[in-house]
Structure 1
Amino acid sequence: MIGLLIVDDHPVVRDGLRGMFAGDGRFAVLGEAADGAEALVVARAVDPDVVLMDLRMPGTDGVTAIRALRDQGFRARVLVLTTYDGDSDVLPAIKAGATGYLLKDTPREELFRAVSAAHRGESVLSPVVAGRLLGELRSPAQDSLSQRELEVLGLIARGCSNKEAAGQLFISEATVKTHLLHAYAKLGVRDRAAAVAAAFERGLLGSRGGHG
């Protein structure tokens, strides 16, 4: 039996998912949480096999929670279940360590299969999300990134703030922001996490090491 933790800020969604999985003998709903911070507390208490994680929640969001679950050594696989399929949601969630990414309109049997697959450690992506990721991998940067843009992205990837990156490169913080905006445009993304993820995926920053 696969033990589940359901994380969503809408009680109606949690109730619906709990009822759905409770009616199938392959699954047991071990706990629920309304945001990422509560998810970490409940996960420590119930040690789930799979976490069904919403992304946009008040308080601690899903991507932050996914990253914390990974960094704190939880064995649970995380399956994102959300209504959002934009690049700014998909890429950071996958980069943070999500095993799969499904949309909330996924049919019941597909959701059951996805949870079982995630439990086995298999990647599960909704067709829309898979198409986005493949497009992200295949589409070359509209213009190649400049050396300075790559240097800025490399520092951001190592966790530097704009101010810290500016200090290391001996340029102004405003210049760092300008380089980042140019990189976003070339990579077709809207934020730092997605830019770093896209740059790694395209081999612009080398390969990801460690547990990333």
Structure 2
Amino acid sequence: MNDGTIRIVLADDERMVRTALRVILDAEAGLEVVGEAATGAEAVSVVRELRPDVVLMDVRMPEVDGIRATERILATMDDPPRVVVVTTFEHDSYVYEALRAGAAGFLLKRAAAEDLVQAVRLVARSDSLLFPAAVRGLAAEYGKRQAAAPAWVARLTGREADVLRLVAAGLTNAEIARRLAVGPATVKTHVAAVLAKTGARDRTQAVIAAYESGFITPG
């Protein structure tokens, strides 16, 4: 972020949707839409050029869909932006695959303007999970449950396991620190260890790994 401003790229094949998102976001202090894309391939190019902090990515676009575009962005940039999938349908296998590919969360196109703004600010901070209940529902419906628990489950310390469960519940680092009666720096260290052991890029991927491994059971 430059001078505290969250720089955003909008990727959607509908011009009207991009225009509506731009109007909402540009009206907010500390938020700036710096670029737009109408296809997944164009999104990859624009993001590489402009290096935003957050990308709002339509999951279904021509040429290259939002899933593949997310994968390319995250795989080819040293310091990639946070990608939030924007979709019409909450319970959609495309959304789950986008989260598995590394998207930090998702938003519904019918979301209220204040929810959109809050989600962008939240995901830019990188210390919370967008809509944890919805992620649980997607994991229950589309998660590919592994036959045996992966090795990383046994490598978690007791405190790291506690932290992962609280991350899955949607708590921020500050909330986890209060719950466990430790300092925020300690929580940050535990979260980093969880990401390293699960092989996850961010909290969302770690939570999905937790569900697919059976470490956490939906519901």
Identity among equivalent positions (%) equals 38
**What is the rounded CA distance, in whole Å, between the counterparts of 1:36 and 1:140 in structure 2?**
26
- Alignment partner of 1:68 out of 62, 72, 81: 72
Query: Structure 1 residue 31 and structure 2 residue 31: aligned?
Result: no
Aligned partner of 1:85 among 83, 90, 95: 90
- Provide the alpha-carbon RMSD of the alignment: 3.0
1:108 Cα offset (Å):
0.9
Q: Work out whether residues 101 and 129 of structure 1, in 8 Å CA contact, stay in contact via their aligned partners in 2.
A: no
Q: Tell me how many residue pairs correspond in the alignment.
A: 152
Residue of structure 1 in register with 2:13 after alignment: 9
Moved more, 128-137 or 19-28: 128-137
Q: Is 2:115 the partner of 1:105?
A: no
SS at match of 1:37: helix
Using the TM superposition, give the Cα deviation of residue 81 of structure 1 relative to its aligned residue in structure 2, in angstroms: 1.1
Which deviations, in whole Å up to 9, do the C-alpha atoms of 1:102-157 show, x marking residues without a partner? 111111111111101111113443476334135349x997xx96x9xxxxxxxxxx
1:8 shift after superposition: 0.2
Tell me, in whole angstroms, the C-alpha distance in 2 between the residues paired with 1:62 and 1:56: 6
Q: Contact between 1:9 and 1:57, CA under 8 Å: does it hold in 2?
A: yes
Instruction: Assess if the C-alpha contact under 8 Å between 1:79 and 1:99 holds in 2.
Output: yes
Task: Provide structure 2 residue ranges, at least 5 long, that are not aligned to the other structure.
Answer: 149-207
Given that residues 90 and 129 in structure 1 are in contact (C-alpha distance below 8 angstroms), is that contact kept between their aligned partners in structure 2? no
2:87–2:95 Cα contact (<8 Å) kept: no
The residue identity in structure 1 corresponding to 2:212 is R
Map Cα deviations across residues 43-85 of structure 1 (whole Å, 9 max, x no partner).
1221100000000011110000111111012420001111122
- The one of 58, 61, 76 aligned to 2:62: 58
Q: Give 3-state SS (helix, strand or coil) of 1:64's partner.
A: helix
SS at match of 2:86: strand
1:115 counterpart = 2:125: no
- State how far apart, in whole Å, the 2-side matches of 1:134 and 1:64 are: 20
Q: Does 1:18 align with 2:22?
A: yes
Distance 1:121 1:109 in 2: 19
Contact preservation (8 Å) 1:114, 1:124: no
Aligned to 1:43: 47
**2:10–2:18 CA contact under 8 A, matched in 1:** yes
In structure 2, what residue type is equivalent to 1:202?
E
Q: TM-score normalised to the size of structure 2?
A: 0.61
